[in-house]
A = this chain, B = another copy of it.
Amino acid sequence: MRGEGNKGRLILDAARRVFAATGYYQARVEDIAREAGVGKGTVYEYFTSKEELYLEMLLEVVNSYVAGVRAGLEHAGGDIREKLFFTGRHLCSFLTEHGQLARMVLQDPGPINFKFTDHLRTIRRKMVEMVAALLRDTIPGSIPQEEAEVAARFFLAGLAGVVYPENMQTLAPQENLRTAVDVFVQGVSETFGRERG
Residue from the list B110, B158, B190 in contact with A161, Cβ < 8 A: B158
**Contact B121 A110, beta carbon cutoff 8 Å:** no
List residues of A whose CB falls within 8 A of some B CB.
21-26, 100, 103, 106-108, 110-112, 121, 146-147, 149-151, 153-162, 164, 166-167, 170-171, 175-176, 179-180, 182-191, 196
Question: With A111-B22, A160-B157 in contact, is A147–B179 under 8 Å at CB?
Answer: yes
B-chain residues with CB within 8 Å of residue A149 when the two chains form the complex: 170
Contacts A26-B112, A103-B110, A156-B161 supplied; 4 other A-B pairs, CB < 8 Å: A153-B161, A154-B158, A182-B187, A183-B184
Residue from the list B103, B112, B186 in contact with A23, Cβ < 8 A: B112
In whole angstroms, how far apart are the Cα atoms of A183 and B148 in the complex? 11
B-chain residues with CB within 8 Å of residue A183 when the two chains form the complex: 151, 154, 184, 187-188, 191
Question: With A186-B186, A186-B190, A187-B186 in contact, is A111–B150 under 8 Å at CB?
Answer: no
